[in-house]
Amino acid sequence: MYNTYILDVNARKVFNSRGEETIEVEVVTEGGFGRAAVPSGASRGKNEVVPFPKGGIDSAIKMFFDKIAPEIIGMDATAQREIDYKLRELDGTEHLEEIGGATILATSLAVAKAAAASLTLELYEYLGGSTVNELPYPLGNVLGGGKHSKGVSQDIQEILVLPVGAENIYDAIRANILVHKLLPKYIKEVDPNFAGGKNDEGAWTANLSSDEALKVVEKACKEAEKTLGFEIRIGIDVAASSLWDENKQKYVYFREKTTRDSGEQYEYVSRLIDEYDLIYVEDPFHEEDFELFAKLKKEHGNHAFIVGDDLFTTNVERLKKGVKLGAANGIIIKPNQIGTLTDTIETVRYAKRNDVTPIMSHRSGETEDVAIAHLAVALNCPVIKTGTVNGERIAKLNELLRISEYIGEYSKMAEIKIR
């Protein structure tokens, strides 16, 4: 007989991939153990939950022991929804400003991991059931700019690759890595002084305009396709909220030394989609411009994912507005934007019911925690945004390889549907 009741908990400070402090929580049951650490983003939407309270991480850890620990010790770890509601109740604010979203999410995920371990299940099995067998396509950032890079790189925050032709997760991961390996020689053709600089996510960063950057990635993809024998498509994360100047009512492109009003931004993004046959466009407009998102989706949504990150912040209420307006056919899922596993699952399920593709995602300041690999499989997300290289990114990708082995002969790649 398994015992899933929580016997003990712990919290500590650890470091993320940028060397910043974050929180890690441990949950112990009689039959299992769970540990979770929470990442942080550099480009954060204003509608995300607050990661830490005013007193910072020290205050968050104190409140964990003072407020959370006494309440959840003795609870059944399999009562995920009940525990997550309790965590929100203990904080008492909409955006988790009192205790902090990072602390609450770390606790929520550690509880789920402890419950799974108590039942001798992998996390993806515990959350998704024994019949889940689809692996997500990895969406890899290979050339970085914007807030994730420093200096004279392109204004577009991320240029990504999606190996849509891969037939298994190993080949899909290998394809993204190959594009990353091939890129430097093409970058040097445009930027002879390129010295191999990388950004927070391990993507290359170089002295390139956005168009130059897209062209070199296009060349690397073509070479990789010849080597591997299957199609690799290009995507972008504009992170337009970080370019938007509220006072000027314009998008400020610092490297290009130009500004674009909303109409010009729309024409610019439309041109990039057509010229580079983009399959994925994330945050092309600022986080409150549902109308332009809807216009872009109407024009290009039958052949490209028009994806909201800052637009939705993994919040089901904002997603409902987006669905009503037809604003996107893809949504980034970042659990630390919303605060609990229960909230994350609710948003994914609503997205899938309304033909919006959920894309499970890392953050720029990552930890070695591999939970999002399990969540992507458990929640049937056809795409996972994980980066391409760096240990904290590879950790998630290698976990997908292990999950593929756990599933065995029934393992297959998810079906990517653009609609």
Q: What confidence score (pLDDT) does residue 43 get?
A: 64
Q: Band of the pLDDT at 146, cuts 50, 70, 90?
A: confident
Per-residue HEC secondary structure of 117-167 comes to: HHCCCCHHHHHHCCCCCEECEEEEEEEECHHHCCCCCCCCCEEEEECCCCC
Residue of 119, 109, 98 lying closest to 37 (CA atoms): 109
Q: Band of the pLDDT at 44, cuts 50, 70, 90?
A: confident
Q: pLDDT tens digits, residue range 345-356?
A: 999 999 999 999
| Burial of 168 from C-beta contacts in 10 A (0-12 / 13-18 / 19+) | middle
State the residue for tokens 């190993």: 170
Read off the pTM. 0.97
Q: Average pLDDT for residues 72-88, to the nearest whole number?
A: 98
Q: What confidence score (pLDDT) does residue 22 get?
A: 97
| Burial of 215 from C-beta contacts in 10 A (0-12 / 13-18 / 19+) | middle
Q: pLDDT tens digits, residue range 384-413?
A: 999 999 999 999 999 999 999 999 999 999
Residue of 360, 319, 367 lying closest to 341 (CA atoms): 360
Q: Residue 374: pLDDT above 70? A: yes
Q: Mean of the per-residue pLDDT values for the chain?
A: 96
Q: Average pLDDT for residues 292-310, to the nearest whole number?
A: 98
Q: Give domain limits for the chain.
A: 6-120, 134-413
Q: Residue 1: pLDDT above 60? A: no
Q: Residue 157: pLDDT above 80? A: yes
Q: Band of the pLDDT at 2, cuts 50, 70, 90?
A: low
Q: What confidence score (pLDDT) does residue 262 get?
A: 98
Q: What confidence score (pLDDT) does residue 148 get?
A: 62
In whole angstroms, give the CA distance from residue 78 to residue 115. Answer: 5
In whole angstroms, give the CA distance from residue 203 to residue 181. Answer: 10
| Burial of 280 from C-beta contacts in 10 A (0-12 / 13-18 / 19+) | buried
Q: pLDDT tens digits, residue range 113-140?
A: 999 999 999 999 999 999 999 999 999 9
Query: Angle at Cα 88 formed by Cα 36 and Cα 97, nearest 5°?
Result: 85
Q: Residue 152: pLDDT above 90? A: no
Active-site amino acid positions: 201, 334
Q: What confidence score (pLDDT) does residue 151 get?
A: 63
Contact 377, 405 (CB under 8 A): no
Q: Average pLDDT for residues 99-122, to the nearest whole number?
A: 98
Share of the chain above pLDDT 70, in %: 98
Q: What confidence score (pLDDT) does residue 200 get?
A: 86
Q: pLDDT tens digits, residue range 226-269?
A: 999 999 999 999 999 999 999 999 999 999 999 999 999 999 99
Q: Give, to the nearest 10 degrees, the angle between helix 169-190 and helix 391-407.
A: 150
Q: Please state which CATH number belongs to domain 134-413.
A: 3.20.20.120
Q: Please state which CATH number belongs to domain 6-120.
A: 3.30.390.10
Q: How many H helices and E strands in the chain? A: 14, 16
Gyration radius from the chain CA atoms: 21
Segment holding 308, helix H or strand E: strand 305-308
| 161 strand-pairing partners | 140, 234
In this predicted model, which residue has the larger pLDDT, 146 or 28?
A: 28
Sign of CA dihedral 401, 24, 391, 332: positive
Q: What confidence score (pLDDT) does residue 399 get?
A: 98
Q: Residue 150: pLDDT above 80? A: no
Helix (H, G, I), strand (E, B) or coil at 111: helix
**Dihedrals φ, ψ of 47, to 5°?**
-95, 5
Q: What confidence score (pLDDT) does residue 364 get?
A: 87
Residue of 163, 157, 156, 212 lying closest to 183 (CA atoms): 212
